[in-house]
Amino acid sequence: MAANSTDVIEPGGFRADLPDLTGRRVLITGGLGFIGSNLARACLEHGADVTVYDCLDPRAGGNMQNVDGFRDDLRIQLNDLRNSEAVFAAVVDQDLVFNCAAYTSHPNSMKEPLIDIDVNCKGTINVLEAARRFNQDAKIVHIGTSTQIGRMQSSPIDESHPEFPVDIYSANKAASENYVLIYGHAYGMSTTVVRFANVFGPRSNISSPDFGFMNFFIGLALQEKPITVFGDGAQLRTVSYVEDCVAALLLAAGSDSANGEVFFAVGDRQHSVVEIATQITENIGGDLRSVEWPKDREVIEIGDAVISNAKIRDKLGWAPQVELAAGLVKTVEYFRPRLEHYLR
């Protein structure tokens, strides 16, 4: 499917250089979660017929509030990615499948590795098998993560960087990414992987550190609670605003040249963890505190993560449009009137 860009600014604020999805049938696994729900909204605004598939497992971050205002425009299937029959039925008639579902907690993956394997590995295989057996014409776009790299061996990190993940979640995401690429190569399927890093923005889970430190910091600040940074917080992070991530997914879905490829879709700048925390306290609230590293977190800490987005810029014409400060403003505007739905 070749890209067919729209030429107007979308009413929801999404970029105008994205594929026209009019009449396309789109399935989003994890569609009630953070990235999935923002993607669902964008797909609707670009003309798609959208089905979201989610189990609303509290350990995975799904929230029905995330589709408030456009819920009636969606088909919602409440089921588990580990249910192969349900996944097969959901995939069979789709044109595009975005695999956004995941068991995302780094610490919990170390405590519950079998659950992580079931969701992130077996669940991904269920999606791929569904397409292989019943719908090989579907385009599959899979979300990867920068943490599967592990500790940075060379700077900047790019798609050819060696991978030595330091926790079970990251290892399983690396495995699931390889499954996606293997199926594409072995069976002639259209598959693409888009990797993100430290995604923040509206509809994120802001009540738990298991869904990203930035979003948790934002939740604490909105409650005027202290933000705790481990150690000196000097480690560098590349961050991504969620609407930029959605744009990357849609551009990957709309481009035949993305088939068989892996892309890092990340921001242009790096910020230290303490800088991020400081900007959050200054722009939202709360105060900043520093404590020693907990041993269980220190052993899975990766240090600096400086990541290049050169490949996706060159191949798909994607570029981030929302910097950290502007993204924080947009995030707060979303959450302040809705806190009761996100801080339970």
What CATH number did the domain enclosing 194 receive?
A: 3.40.50.720
Q: Quick one: average pLDDT of 196-212?
A: 93
Q: Quick one: average pLDDT of 203-223?
A: 93
Q: Is residue 17 part of a domain?
A: no
Asked whether the whole model's pTM tops 0.85, one would answer: yes
Q: Is residue 65 part of a domain?
A: yes
Q: Quick one: average pLDDT of 262-275?
A: 96
Confidence class for position 1, pLDDT limits 50, 70, 90: very low
Per-residue pLDDT of 105-140, as tens digits, reads 888 899 999 999 999 999 999 999 999 999 999 999
What is the predicted pLDDT for the residue at 334? Answer: 97
Q: Is residue 8 part of a domain?
A: no
Ranking 6-20, 134-148, 160-174, 199-213 by mean pLDDT, the lowest is 6-20
C-alpha to C-alpha distance for 48 and 106, rounded to whole angstroms: 33
Buried b (16+ CB within 10 A) or exposed e, 125-156: bbbbbbbbeebeebbbbbbbbbbbbbebeeeb
C-alpha to C-alpha distance for 171 and 117, rounded to whole angstroms: 9
Confidence class for position 260, pLDDT limits 50, 70, 90: very high
Q: Quick one: average pLDDT of 154-160?
A: 96
Q: Is residue 178 part of a domain?
A: yes
Per-residue pLDDT of 281-314, as tens digits, reads 998 998 999 888 888 888 878 888 999 999 999 9
Report phi then psi at 25, rounded to 5: -95, 120
What is the predicted pLDDT for the residue at 298? Answer: 82
Per-residue pLDDT of 14-57, as tens digits, reads 565 789 999 999 999 999 999 999 999 999 999 999 999 999 98
Q: Quick one: average pLDDT of 188-197?
A: 98
Q: Is residue 19 part of a domain?
A: no
Ranking 17-21, 72-76, 139-143, 242-246 by mean pLDDT, the lowest is 17-21
Percentage of the chain modeled with pLDDT above 90? 84
What is the predicted pLDDT for the residue at 128? Answer: 98
Q: Any residues with CB less than 8 A from the CB of 49 and at least 6 apart, and which?
A: 23, 24, 25, 26, 75
- Residue 3 clears pLDDT 70, i.e. is over it: no
What is the predicted pLDDT for the residue at 4? Answer: 36
If one counts the domains in the chain, the total is 1
Percentage of the chain modeled with pLDDT above 70? 95
Mean pLDDT of the chain: 92
Query: What number of helices (H) and strands (E) belong to the chain?
Result: 12, 13
What is the predicted pLDDT for the residue at 15? Answer: 63
C-alpha to C-alpha distance for 246 and 208, rounded to whole angstroms: 23
Q: Is residue 189 part of a domain?
A: yes
- Residue 6 clears pLDDT 50, i.e. is over it: no
Per-residue pLDDT of 180-189, as tens digits, reads 999 999 999 9
What is the predicted pLDDT for the residue at 93? Answer: 95
Q: Is residue 15 part of a domain?
A: no
Confidence class for position 9, pLDDT limits 50, 70, 90: very low
What is the residue range of 29's domain? Answer: 25-341
Q: Is residue 50 part of a domain?
A: yes
| DSSP character at residue 257 | G
